[in-house]
Amino acid sequence: MLRLECPSCGPRNAAEFRYGGEYNPRPAPSSSATDNEWTRYLYLRQNSMGVQTEWWYHRSGCGMWFLVERDRRTNQVTRSWQWTVDMDDDARQETT
């Protein structure tokens, strides 16, 4: 079983967590997004064969939502950290 590192609780079995999908910040405000941007946010995912940044929730633990960088080919986790506001800014910059 995959092991994840909760930023507040440390390493735990994946069964303690809920997967929250790809990191995919919401265009803010929603009205500012073009139809294309909105569609991409709502429906299109990278589904990358490689490293992905994704959300996990420590359901049977502290209740933290955090981010994990995981290689989807090997399940190797390279980083786990708590969300920060500049992440969203950077991500939005990249997609525009």
Partner 1 sequence: MKGRRIEARPGQVVDRAEPLSFQFDGRSYTGYAGDTIASALTAAGVGILSRSFKYHRPRGLLCGAGHCPNCLVQIGDEPSVRSCTRPLEQGMDIRSQNAWPSLDNDLMQLTESVSRFLPVGFYYKIFHRPRFLWPAFEHLLRNAAGLGVIDPQTPEGSYDKQYLHADVVVVGGGPAGLSAAVAAADHGSRVLLIDENADVGGHLRFDRPDETVTERIAQCRKALDQAGATILTRTSVVGWYQDHWLSAVRGNRLYKIRAGAVVVASGAFEAPPIFAGNDRPGVLLASAAQRLLHLHGVIPGQRGVIVTASDAGWAVAVDLIEAGVDIVAIADERPEPGPPEQHETLTTAGVVIHQGYTISAARGARGVDEVDLVPVDGTAAKQTIRCDFVALSTSWIPSAELATMAGARSHYDETLAEMTLEDLPEGIFLAGRVAGPCTAEQEWIQGSAAGTAAAAGGPSHDSTTGTTPIPRSSQIVVSPGSAGDKRFVCFCEDVTDTDIETAVAEGYDRIELLKRYSTVGMGPCQGRMCGLNSIRLCAQNTGQSVQETGRTTGRPPVTPVSLGALAGQKMEPVQLSAIHDWHVGHEARLMVAGPWMRPEHYGTPEDEVRAVREAAGLIDVSPLGKLKLTGPGVATLLERLYVNPWKDLRRGRVRYGIMCNDEGIILDDGVCARISDHEWYVSTTSTGASGAVEWMEWWRQSGWGDGVHITDMTETHAAFNLAGPLSRQILQPLTSRDLSHGKFPYMRARRAKVAGVPCLLLRIGFTGELGYEIHCPAGYARYLWETLIEAGIPHGLLPFGVEAQRVLRLEKGHFIVGQDTDALTDPLAADAPWAVRLDKDEDFLGRRALTRISEEGPRQRLVGFRTRRRADALVEGLQVVRPADRGAPEIIGWISSCRYSPTLQETIGLCWLPTELAEQQDTPFHIHVEGQLELAHVHHGPFYDPQGERLRS
State the burial class of residue 4 (Cβ atoms within 10 Å of its Cβ: 0-12, 13-18, 19+).
buried
**Among residues 95, 83, 91, 88, which one has the least CA distance to residue 8?**
83
- Residues 59-78 contacting partner 1, CB under 8 A: 59, 63-65, 74-75
**Among residues 3, 2, 1, 10, which one has the least CA distance to residue 61?**
10
CB of 29 to partner 1, least distance (A): 4
* 88 near partner 1, rule: CB under 8 A: yes
CB of 2 to partner 1, least distance (A): 4
Residues engaged in binding partner 1 (CB under 8 A): 1-3, 13-14, 18, 20, 26, 28-31, 38, 41-42, 55, 57, 59, 63-65, 74-75, 83, 85, 88
